[in-house]
Structure 1
């Protein structure tokens, strides 16, 4: 947990002005892959700068030479979006947004990662406040809207609060809300108005992705009930796959590998689905499932014929994390390494 600690920027992540932006959860393509080349470390990376931040779990994003991040305003029921100069770490501006009261043993700060798009930063707070903030050329911030989604859709917050990172597709924002008939909702990027809503599924902590399969653009969500593939244009549900975590703690992002989809949960392990079509519409077929491949928070990273995973075993209060190299077509572990970290170990792929 990041608890009133420092945000660090290291040479490996921000080595030059030419480095690619990292404008959303899991990077430009939402797959945990960076186009930058990072040589193997012979020693810990050099710290470029550090700045104090408030409580929260949200990741920073990088766009247009700025760093953006949301945190909790200390001592207040408010969250804050801040902007720093990516090269120097100088804080340029910040803006506060009110929220509903929230407390949790694992911290009361935001969990979701914001997303930058065309001069605006969109953020989803721990109490499902959907905000839009304009960013000018100098990094100054202006509030556009701050909508209370739980109130609007008569939905309940999750125990750990809202943690998913929203998906932007064309002119809309896609996210889980969880109210009756509003399991998944699309909002206008312009003004936050509802475009469409569908399903009764309760929300999860997992972030959605956008894929192309069976000749259709599909938004893929891992809800409380399972996997869902739907049209981002009108919310038409193409397919569903039951994948309900026994602890209701699904957190990892689904991963597209070729014409397949890999998903993981805390108690069910992992499942591989084949993306196909039936009666002219997108469909899925189960290829394999493996209860031993239980990712907690870490999203798997595919490389060639393999996928690298951080899996959790033993007591979930004191999990033993293992780094695994898995043959993704079969689910067979090729090699593994113990003591990979605790809950928060994650994998990113570089060129």
Structure 2
């Protein structure tokens, strides 16, 4: 079923869609609405006046179950969809369970995208990850660098699944004329993050580590590596704002990088976290541990051309996240 204002074409991507404000009363399905990104998108949509949001927990709807997904779409008939649901984890989890990360994410994506097409979803945003790009891509990383080099081996299964999602969006645009889009965020953080020792990424891991050091009175905190690698971080509320902006203002087959366009060293990041939580002890670095990729910074010129840029500074965002962590420390993923 082709959407309104879209033309089906067999040669090239000639989708005739004029981006415009979304209908605030239309049914809007946020797949993964309890996760870090999905919950932020939900908050943003509520604040923007969307009155018919639909979400399901994994217990209520297993997105890996194709029949269940199609039945859900038949019953709810969403006009808009953000696909933020995914099996995610840190380096250890990705490296230990590559089959799970590949299989689960492929099934989630294919089921939701196929059901969305079958039931006439008008606008859809597929969310990926900056890990789709080659491990040693030129910096800053442009969208055109996709599939130009080898992936990071520790999370290549997850990356391949997300690349497949991008390609499915592009195929749907070509074959069915659907004005659907993809966005690839940089490292995200904020309220609702995963602070567990096994599954957390670097920023929530640092927040937990330094906060516990303050509570226990530790004099020293030791971090892995030299602290020299550079990383980019985007507050999840900024990510949510970017998603809505893209849905209303961007239409194109290529994925859009979403980030700040600025990075910091891990050493600088640790110092900001330490100051924010009130740790005034000694920071040491275990240089016997690996540093990882020297730099990972996204080129966000396409996003800027679409009229959006990040608003939350790293210092402000970390303070916000620390406040949320301390208020929810007894109930969060640990």
Q: TM-score of the superposition, structure 2-length normalised?
A: 0.29
Using CA pairs under 8 Å that are at least 6 residues apart, name the structure with larger relative contact order, 1 or 2: 2
Greater fraction of residues in strand: 1
Greater fraction of residues in helix: 2
